[in-house]
Amino acid sequence: MNRTKQTRSLRCLMFPLLIAAGTAVNAQAQSIERMRELLQEIQQEVDSLEKEQARTLRLRERLQHPVESVEYVDDVIAVDTLPSGSDAVMIVLFNDNTWKYLRNRDYVKDSEVYTRCWDTTKLFPYRDSVALSDLPRSVDIQLVDSLRCYHYPYKANIRSKFGMRRRRKHQGVDLPLKTGDPVYATFNGKVRISFPSSKTGGYGNLIIIRHDNGLETFYGHLSERIVHAGEWVEAGQIIGYGGSTGRSTGPHLHFETRYCGQSFDPERLIDFQSGNLRRETFLLKRSYLDIHSSASQDFEDEEDEAKERKRAEEEKKALANAQYYRIKSGDTLGAIAIRYGTTVTRLCQLNGISRNTTLRIGRSLRVK
């Protein structure tokens, strides 16, 4: 009897334990399943992030590739247009059986780029309304889009770079050329200024173009201007011809890039030796803008630069033609001067010595 009671008591105790154990196992199973679901969600999120990162890297690599200059063909006639699926772009068919995408100017003509501070009478219309401190610390500029509309203004080794030049501001680059060489529009845009020398204060014959990307480019010292204010131009279109008008000491193109009236180094955008655009997008930092927060250009040092360049060339030529004499026993400055048809004073100048300097046997003395 006692054994039967004990068995029943044991069963009564085990039953709730089994229920509790079953509940715990069930809860654990649910917890494990939930953890699996969370792991799957995390893995999906990681996969998504990795794909986005890979896409971003590919895009960034593509955007950093140089953009080659396109050719502008101005001797063909447009015969028809076709829709492209975008109101901003149209397909133009030409009479030489070619075609190309072109920006629909009706779509962009009223954009803020071509209305804000638009003035065809002032070189620097931003000066009175936009200060350097008003601009953001940085701005991402899409220089070219899928149409890749870019052409170098002129391709050459830079003669004078952007920056301070003998304590004066040089807010562009100077590209040497021959008078009459064609100068090209850098991007698609609209001519804002086409002025003769009498109106530009040193720039000479000047063209300023505002572009779809918000930048303005300046083309100075031209011998001839062939576009007018208000005219739409395409990248690669000839807008004028190189020269030496204004405050200039020889034929060259003075080329500037500006954002909201503030200049920055054009070499940040263009490799002028190859003619390539360095990248499709450009992060323009406020620190890049201008030299000393002035919107005007200083041409007063053109003559000084020309004299310095001429002096450097003469010194280089003189060094190339230099003649030396090796001093021998018994030589004097007077005797050497007579032998080479010069003077003792000149010998001292060429060698950085004085009349009383002791001549050392075996030393080379420059005589011409």
60-71: pLDDT as tens digits: 444 456 767 666
Q: What 3-state DSSP class applies to 329? A: coil
Question: What is the pLDDT, as a whole number, of residue 359?
Answer: 87
What is residue 63's predicted lDDT score, i.e. its pLDDT? 46
Residues in the chain, total: 368
Segment 261-295, tens digit of pLDDT: 999 999 999 999 999 998 888 888 888 886 664 45
* Average pLDDT estimate for 121-125: 94
In tens, the pLDDT along 20-43 reads 556 665 666 667 777 777 777 766
Helix (H, G, I), strand (E, B) or coil at 31: helix
With cut-offs at 50, 70 and 90, classify the pLDDT of residue 55: low
Distance in angstroms (rounded) separating the CA atoms of residues 103 and 110: 14
Q: How many CA within 13 A on the CB side of residue 364?
A: 5
Most trustworthy range by pLDDT among 138-147, 259-268, 331-340: 259-268
Q: Inform me whether the pLDDT recorded for 78 exceeds 80.
A: no
Q: What does the pLDDT read at residue 311? A: 77
- Cβ(207)–Cβ(239) below 8 Å: yes
Q: What is the pLDDT of residue 302?
A: 53
Angle at CA 151, nearest 5°, toward 150 and 152? 130
Mean pLDDT of the chain: 80
Amino acid 201: pLDDT: 85
Q: Compute the distance between CA of residue 62 and CA of residue 152 in angstroms, rounded to an integer.
A: 20
Q: Which residues in 314-335 are b (16+ Cβ under 10 Å) and which e?
A: eeeeeeeeeeebebeeebebee
Higher pLDDT, 3 or 196: 196
Average pLDDT over residues 201-229: 95
Q: Are 329 and 362 in contact (CB under 8 A)?
A: no
Q: What is the pTM of this model?
A: 0.63
pLDDT digits (tens, 9 = 90+) for 150-197: 999 999 999 999 988 777 788 899 999 999 999 999 999 999 999 999
Q: Which residues pair with 29 in a beta bridge?
A: none
CA distances 359 to 26, 128, 323, 326, 344, Å, are: 108, 68, 17, 10, 13
Q: How confident is residue 296, by pLDDT bands cut at 50, 70 and 90?
A: low
The C-alpha atoms of residue 286 and residue 263 are separated, in whole angstroms, by 10
Q: Are 313 and 319 in contact (CB under 8 A)?
A: no
